[in-house]
Amino acid sequence: MEEEKVISEENQTEISTENDESIKIANEVVASIAGVAVSEVPGVYGMAGGITEIFGKKGLAKGIKVEVGPKDTKIDVNIVVEYGVRIPDVAFEIQNRVKKAVETMTGLNVSSVNIHIQGINIAEKRNSEEMQENKE
């Protein structure tokens, strides 16, 4: 199936095929696909919801913003990383996995995956270090 044109509405994307049939994909679905891909990357502690967290948005799409244009798709990912990981490596892996997953499952062209590091999870690291010190 070849893609002829993509029409973006506020909450969904319509993909027109060569035989004048259309497929509508909700932007929430694209965000969920990206969320699953992000959750599989080692070093990611969790998603950071930012303003979406305030409004109670839950699930796999938490912390992910999708913008579908006529020719390309831009995805912003807000995450919290584990203490001690190399952030550029984690970000690069997220970009690769998200781009591959979204393009494979939807047929959309992903032009950019922007990673926003919102925090570092250090609580578990500190707790394990404190427990180690108490044993000594």
Backbone angles phi, psi at 129, to 5 degrees: -70, -40
Q: Tell me the pLDDT tens digit for each residue of 52-82.
A: 443 344 577 889 999 988 889 999 999 999 9
Cross-strand pairs, 121: 82
> What total of structural domains would you count in the chain?
1
Cβ neighbourhood burial of 126 (10 Å; 0-12, 13-18, 19+): exposed
Domain of 76 in residue numbering reads as 3-135
Q: 96-122: per-residue pLDDT in tens?
A: 999 999 999 999 999 999 999 999 999
Predicted confidence (pLDDT) at residue 50 exceeds the cutoff of 60: no
> pTM for the whole thing?
0.75
CATH of the domain at 35: 3.30.70.1350
